[in-house]
Amino acid sequence: MARQEKKKDVVIVGLGWTGSIAGIELCREGLEIVALERGHDQSTVPNFEYPQQIDELKYGVRLKMMQKPSQQTVTVRRNDGETALPYRSLGSFLPGNGVGGAGTHWNGLNWRPQPEELRLRSYVAENWGEEIIPEGMNLGDYPVSYDEMEPFFTHFEKVAGISGKAGNLNGEIQEGGNPFEGWRSEDYPMPPTATTYDSSKFQEACLAAGYHPFPAPAGIASTAYTNPYGMQMGPCNFCGFCERYGCYQYSKSSPQTAILDALKMQPNFSYRTESEVLRVELAEDGKTATGVTYWDHKAGEEVFQPADIVILSSYQLNNVHLMLLSGLGEAYNPLTGMGTLGKNYAYQMNGGVSMFFKDENFNPFVGHGANGMCIDDFSINQNDFGALGFIGGSYWRSGTFNGQPIRNMPLPKGTPSWGAGWKEGIGEWYGHAMSIGSHGSHMSYANNHLDLDPTYKDKHGRPLMRMTFNWQDNDLKMNQYMKSQMEPLAASLNPDVMQSGFKGLGAQYDVRPYQTTHNTGGHIMSANPTQGAVNKFSQTWKAHNVFAMGAGNFVQNTQYNPTGLVGGLAYHTVNAIRTQYLSNPRPLV
Amino acid sequence: MTDIPGLPSRRSFLKASAAGMALSGLALPASAQNAPAPVPLDQYQPDYLTADEWAFVMAATARLIPSEGDGPGALEARVPVFIDLQLAGDYGTADDWYMEGPHDANAEPARGWQTPLNPAEVYRQAIPAFNAWCEETYQAEFAALEPAQQDEALTALQKGEVGLPAEVRDFFTILLANTKEGYFADPQYGGNFEMQSWVYIGFPGARAAFREWPTRHNVKYPLGPVSISGERA
């Protein structure tokens, strides 16, 4: 018999970016709110303090800030004919753990999608015709437009404290910003951070080639800053420990630096850690939820938490898993196209070029996760999909972000991987290399989807979620196009040696090397209940008092890092709850 | 050196002198910071590895990162100590990993870690299997081979040519990864002794403060490393 807690107005499942946003915004409505967090509590002090945080082995390699597969994981197969096997140790992607979630250990790259990306199917149809859409690609439009989203992007950027340079202010192109971005109603809250040597070389090469370089939009403070909640950030000192670490100096945007201390002061908010939600409980009619059942790890017992509103704000994979287990929709069937949960799982298609300069010093340890100069000259709204033979695009970036030597030791091809030659190589080349990265879109396909595994179970006896995923020709062609365009630019810098790393046609998904933690889709937004799991307000079509936030909403992945869209959608959702739902709880679409 | 209770000790006097030297601008090597000398590797009592395993790890890491040439070798960096401590800890026992069956150790490598064994067990089972291959091929176990034969044997191991069972086929991969981890990790984990590896490549360790450095283009950062526990080199 589960223990029962006192009923709340709102229960939040997962206290990362979107859970924190929902918490603080709904607190202002006077609602009684409890957040349940599977992991541990963590704050800048004491958890991210100097110098204990500056530990590559513990956090960079042993991944002590991340979700442990022993707690929760998925199985993976590359097609429906393969037997899925557990993702036993972390490699390809790194879901976060504990308060702050992935918003604590991210790099801080905060982009808005291009307007065309939110209506990509229509954009393709209007310009090239639907016949260029490959068989099996579930290309879609988001049910929200860029213009509707703009105020929410702006607000999230103010809360998160983003540094950058606008390229399009209300339709006016700004020198030095990104001319290919969607319009902004205001400039970034902070100016860009300083430009490192590699970035400046990249910038010069881009200008010489006729491209349009601009500073990366960074969730990294360039100056002293106070956000709308009164939370303060201090300027970054380029310590180089962003990705996989908590920031020790209040410089990186995170739920901790931007929201949580303000939220914890609200008398109508409370949170419980080590409280792992097992399922959302539905009312007998199946049209609303009554609350959630969670496992209290401290007490070692199941607890029922009744609530009028349930907000699912855990990591994308965990949200989809919980929805599948709770019957918050039908599982997607790729053969019939029926069902919506698990549909349109997507990822990211990345590549890059490394350049070695034996007489130049890059001090690769001087940097931050969102450092660098970028170009969008090969982005989605710049590519002629019909002529190029793919749908997609990428942004390019060059900037030092971590010179931590266990993981970041680029060596020219042909250098031995061990022995005297390796030792000589690290002495010769460490600090003398720079790179350019291509960060590309990933479309959605019938073949890439999520459901429940028939064999493997978690500690609570629940089936693990099964990921069916492989690289598809469309995105691989896009990647090869980027290679063909990037190599000449890299060569124009006259490096002593250069080498490329881009997946090509036929590449098979390999779970071992780290690729990206931009897992998207699975509870996608849609204009009607047959196409997706939630409506434009992230409200589940199944139960109107359940809202599912985060990158699970993405119809297909964009060419950018997902957090800007995740944050914007979260504010769009809580605005709808505040202004439309609370006064009259019902399906909003 | 014995200190007499109640009197200023000779050791404190030496420490104070050392502080004075630092203030006067003379950099002190880490060895002058009163760090006790560590146990020599040949007297080290492993936490996890058996004597035979220790001999193998000493010999293998000495070839993976040899002592000759510039920069420390794995033995100077005390990498074997790091590996022993890691295997004795929660990495060795794969505490954070999902280890439930069924297991398919023959799965394609791209499917990730699929053996039922944890890293400590992989070392335990792979070392005798590899030594048996060395006996068969060279009539001696790995640690007793000449360096050139050891390199040849490790190359065969890396290429998957020594016929290890599927359950331990990733042995070389983790041995090499653990060796490099021990070479470059903070010294608190037992390797990277006196931060020699960081000094060698020019990585400043736990300094983590470079406010004025982003705009100093193409200028080599001048300071040596610090460790998490405050050592300087």
Q: For the segment B44-86, what is each residue's pLDDT rounded down to a tens digit? A: 999 999 999 999 999 999 999 999 999 999 999 999 999 999 9
Task: Assign 3-class secondary structure to A564-589.
Answer: HHHHHHHHHHHHHHHHHHCCCCCCCC
Q: Does A76 touch chain B if contact means CB atoms closer than 8 Å?
A: yes
d(CA B4, nearest CA chain A) in Å: 36
Candidates B104, B197, B214; nearest CB to A366: B214
Q: Does A88 touch chain B if contact means CB atoms closer than 8 Å?
A: yes
Which chain B positions have a beta carbon within 8 Å of A57's beta carbon? Answer: 181, 185-186, 189
- Interchain contact, A360 vs B181, CB within 8 Å: no
Task: Assign 3-class secondary structure to A366-380.
Answer: CECCCCCEEECCCCH
Q: Does B110 touch chain A if contact means CB atoms closer than 8 Å?
A: yes
Q: Does B201 touch chain A if contact means CB atoms closer than 8 Å?
A: yes
In A, residues 201-240, which contact B (CB 8 Å cutoff)?
A: 235, 237-240
pLDDT of B4 higher than 80:
no
A282 beta partners:
A289
Which chain A positions have a beta carbon within 8 Å of B114's beta carbon? Answer: 85, 88
- From residue A513, alpha-carbon distances to A298, A328, A330, A413, B183 in Å are 34, 33, 33, 18, 21
Q: Which of A560, A566, A543 is nearest to A281 (CA)?
A: A543
- Interchain contact, A237 vs B210, CB within 8 Å: yes
- Interchain contact, B94 vs A418, CB within 8 Å: no
Per-residue pLDDT tens digits of chain A, which is 589 residues long: 689 999 999 999 999 999 999 999 999 999 999 999 999 999 999 999 999 999 999 999 999 999 999 999 999 999 999 999 999 999 999 999 999 999 999 999 999 999 999 999 999 999 999 999 999 999 999 999 999 999 999 999 999 999 999 999 999 999 999 999 999 999 999 999 999 999 999 999 999 999 999 999 999 999 999 999 999 999 999 999 999 999 999 999 999 999 999 999 999 999 999 999 999 999 999 999 999 999 999 999 999 999 999 999 999 999 999 999 999 999 999 999 999 999 999 999 999 999 999 999 999 999 999 999 999 999 999 999 999 999 999 999 999 999 999 999 999 999 999 999 999 999 999 999 999 999 999 999 999 999 999 999 999 999 999 999 999 999 999 999 999 999 999 999 999 999 999 999 999 999 999 999 999 999 999 999 999 999 999 999 999 999 999 999 999 999 999 999 999 999 999 999 999 999 999 999 9
pLDDT band, residue B34 (cuts 50/70/90): low
d(CA A478, nearest CA chain B) in Å: 23
Residues of the domain holding A428: 3-581
The reply to whether A518 belongs to the active site is yes
Q: Is residue B31 part of a domain?
A: no
Whole-angstrom Cα distance, residue B129 to residue B108?
A: 21
- Interchain contact, B112 vs A88, CB within 8 Å: yes
Candidates A61, A88, A195; nearest CB to B114: A88
Global confidence as pTM: 0.95
Q: Is residue A544 part of a domain?
A: yes
User: CA angle, B139 as apex, B138 and B144 as ends, to 5°?
Assistant: 80
Q: Does A1 touch chain B if contact means CB atoms closer than 8 Å?
A: no
Mutate to test the interface with A, among B85, B93, B111 (most CBs of A within 10 A): B111
d(CA A368, nearest CA chain B) in Å: 10
Which chain B positions have a beta carbon within 8 Å of A63's beta carbon? Answer: 96
Whole-angstrom Cα distance, residue A293 to residue A309?
A: 14
Q: Does A421 touch chain B if contact means CB atoms closer than 8 Å?
A: no
- Interchain contact, B96 vs A70, CB within 8 Å: yes
Q: Does B159 touch chain A if contact means CB atoms closer than 8 Å?
A: no
Residues of the domain holding B66: 47-96+113-224
Domain CATH code at residue A111: 3.50.50.60
Q: Is residue B24 part of a domain?
A: no
d(CA A83, nearest CA chain B) in Å: 10
What's the DSSP call for residue A137?
Answer: B
Q: Is residue A340 part of a domain?
A: yes
- Interchain contact, A430 vs B110, CB within 8 Å: no
- Cβ contact A162:A168 at 8 Å: no
Q: Does A56 touch chain B if contact means CB atoms closer than 8 Å?
A: yes
Mutate to test the interface with B, among A64, A66, A198, A423 (most CBs of B within 10 A): A423
- Interchain contact, A419 vs B66, CB within 8 Å: yes
Candidates A54, A86, A427; nearest CB to B71: A427
Mutate to test the interface with B, among A55, A57, A65 (most CBs of B within 10 A): A57
- Interchain contact, A511 vs B215, CB within 8 Å: no
Q: Does A91 touch chain B if contact means CB atoms closer than 8 Å?
A: yes
d(CA B61, nearest CA chain A) in Å: 9
pLDDT band, residue B24 (cuts 50/70/90): very low
- Interface predicted TM-score of the whole assembly (ipTM), two decimals: 0.97
Q: Is residue B210 part of a domain?
A: yes
- Taking CA atoms, what residue in B is nearest to A358? B218
* Angle in degrees, 0-180, between the axes of helices B147-158 and B171-184, rounded to the nearest 10: 120
pLDDT band, residue B23 (cuts 50/70/90): very low
Q: Does residue A558 sit in helix, strand or coil?
A: coil
- Cβ contact A352:A502 at 8 Å: yes
- Taking CA atoms, what residue in B is nearest to A196? B214
> What pLDDT score does A2 carry?
86
- Interchain contact, A405 vs B209, CB within 8 Å: no
By CB atoms closer than 10 A (0-12, 13-18, 19+), residue A151 is middle
By CB atoms closer than 10 A (0-12, 13-18, 19+), residue A288 is middle
The gap from C-alpha A350 to its chain's centroid, in whole angstroms, comes to 14
Which chain B positions have a beta carbon within 8 Å of A361's beta carbon? Answer: 218-221
- Cβ contact A156:A570 at 8 Å: yes
pLDDT band, residue B111 (cuts 50/70/90): very high
- Interchain contact, A91 vs B112, CB within 8 Å: yes
Q: Is residue B29 part of a domain?
A: no
Q: Is residue A588 part of a domain?
A: no
Q: Does A413 touch chain B if contact means CB atoms closer than 8 Å?
A: no
pLDDT of B20 higher than 50:
no
Which chain A positions have a beta carbon within 8 Å of B63's beta carbon? Answer: 418-419
Mutate to test the interface with A, among B210, B223, B229, B232 (most CBs of A within 10 A): B210
- Interchain contact, B200 vs A427, CB within 8 Å: yes
By CB atoms closer than 10 A (0-12, 13-18, 19+), residue A261 is middle
> What pLDDT score does B17 carry?
38
Q: Is residue A424 part of a domain?
A: yes
Q: Which of A105, A432, A518, A544 is flagged as catalytic? A: A518
Q: Can you spell out the DSSP letters for A161-193?
A: T-B---SEETTEE-TTS-TTSPPBSS--SBPPP
Whole-angstrom Cα distance, residue A238 to residue A235?
A: 9
Q: Is residue B3 part of a domain?
A: no
Q: Does residue A536 sit in helix, strand or coil?
A: coil
- Interchain contact, B97 vs A88, CB within 8 Å: yes
Q: Does residue A474 sit in helix, strand or coil?
A: helix
Q: Is residue A339 part of a domain?
A: yes
Q: Does B155 touch chain A if contact means CB atoms closer than 8 Å?
A: no
Q: Is residue B212 part of a domain?
A: yes
CB pairs under 8 A between A and B: 173
Q: Does A83 touch chain B if contact means CB atoms closer than 8 Å?
A: yes
Q: Is residue B180 part of a domain?
A: yes
Q: Is residue A586 part of a domain?
A: no
For chain B, the domain total comes to: 1
Q: Does A79 touch chain B if contact means CB atoms closer than 8 Å?
A: no
For chain A, the domain total comes to: 1
- Tell me whether the omega of the peptide bond preceding residue A143 falls within 30 degrees of 0, making it cis: no
Q: Is residue B51 part of a domain?
A: yes
